Structure 1
Amino acid sequence: MIETSRKTALVTGASSGIGAAYADRLARRGYDLVLVARNVERMEELARSLTAETARKVDVIGADLTKSDDVARIEHRLRDDCAIDLLVNNAGMALTGNVLTAPASDVERLIALNVTAPTRLATVAGNAFAERGQGAIVNVASVLALVSEMLDGAYNGSKAYLLTFSRWLGLQLGPKGVYVQGLLPAVTRTEVWERSGMDIGMFPPQVVMDVYDLVDAALVGFDRREDVTIPPLADEVQWKAYDEARLALQPGFQNGTSALRYRPRDS
């Protein structure tokens, strides 16, 4: 196991919203930071503030994670920087409109940012952390991973993928000393709403979570080593019942013939 004197977290989508809140909270927990996003000016301002307040080292990397070459640069940092022991895969986007009305180029960008980039980064980080015998990955998904009736369709699907991928990855890497958390925020006050042309004011104020409340709750789940953390869900029994019902379905999939209910009536 490689020991480092200071721990470092790499946070994507770190210029605002959930990513910036993670940067703040992790710096106050003693992490040095590598911040990744397109808006370098914002990240540099955040870096100056956090360094002044916490004395943590903060590196800033400008990158557009919809571009493969930029993802590759972050992969190299995760692979080569042995101080990094936490990846927060936060960068993401929603569509303006929905998957039926948005330009195909926007759908491609969403898949690149919400699916391809976090998969590549988590895969590289997972292998690097496993080799070192320690580390953690936080994949920021959404409660919409469990909801097919709302939003734009592509966003829901991307977050459902990320939830499934996170749980699979945790099963593979857990025995090697690497913890993986799937985080499922609900309605959170961030700039993603404005960027996708939606008004967060359409929600009652009592259902909109402050971004720092979200991250603080996520870190409680992180400390508990939950594989899935759902900060707004008050009744944990509901999640457990949902997950148990999902598992209970699996034996029914193991059937070499079609179920009786799908057979032609004259057979």
Structure 2
Amino acid sequence: MPRHLSVLLFALALTPLIGGCKPTKAERAAAPPPAAAETDAAPAPPPALPPGAKAGPLDLSQIGPHDEAYAHESLSPDEWASVALMYQSKGRFGEALATLDQAIARHPENAHLYAVRGALWLQLEEYAKALADLERSLELAEDPGVRVNYAEALRRFDRKSDALASLDRALATNPDYLPALFNRGVLRFELGDEAGALADFDRAIAIDPAAAAPYFNRAAVRWALGQKEAAIADLDAFIERAPVGTWKETARDLRASWQEQLEAKR
């Protein structure tokens, strides 16, 4: 099995889902399932928000027309972010970014706004812009959710050691923070630290036994370590918990392949 697990960012209202493309057969043995991919056409999740932020659509009819005075002028930073998220949820990314640009012009020291714009850049695969915004957000206020997104931006530039340090810092703030724990397990596996990856996925499963994705990744680590039967058991646990969709079928196909290999060696 290749030493690769595509990074999965939990859809917990803190981190954006990266990717979403249907995997090739060659990738299926190693890549984890997107957490929000209940169907093959799952909608893109919202950008990141720091803990405590209230994301969601804002009724623009309560704001008024976009005249020369610009109707958002009196909004708080959180309200600006909500407007941007409403545009993003409708796929109107240009308007989401324009809203965030205007918000940051009015509130240039607000970490939240940089975090949201950075996450949106990350979703749009504009990694240099994402890195700059997320770095600025962290300069203004430390936050484990932003740390996870910052780590993903670093990983996109193959700065895996720096990404790992960012996730370590997030977990120093909150040792049970699932997105950081999960993604650190992925990075550790990519860097050849199977024992560390296994420990992170073990911990993720202990924190939330109902979450499907950690079982898939732990299965991949266990298979690489030669723990064949345990790996198959983890795939069974994933299949039991995962929603109907591409990755459930991927896991079933993978399980059949592994079972066939295991029986051939007996």
Shorter-chain TM-score above 0.5: no
Length-normalised TM-score, structure 1: 0.32
Q: Which has the higher strand share?
A: 1
Q: Which has the higher helix share?
A: 2
Length-normalised TM-score, structure 2: 0.32
Between the two structures, name the one with larger relative contact order (CA 8 Å, sep ≥ 6).
2
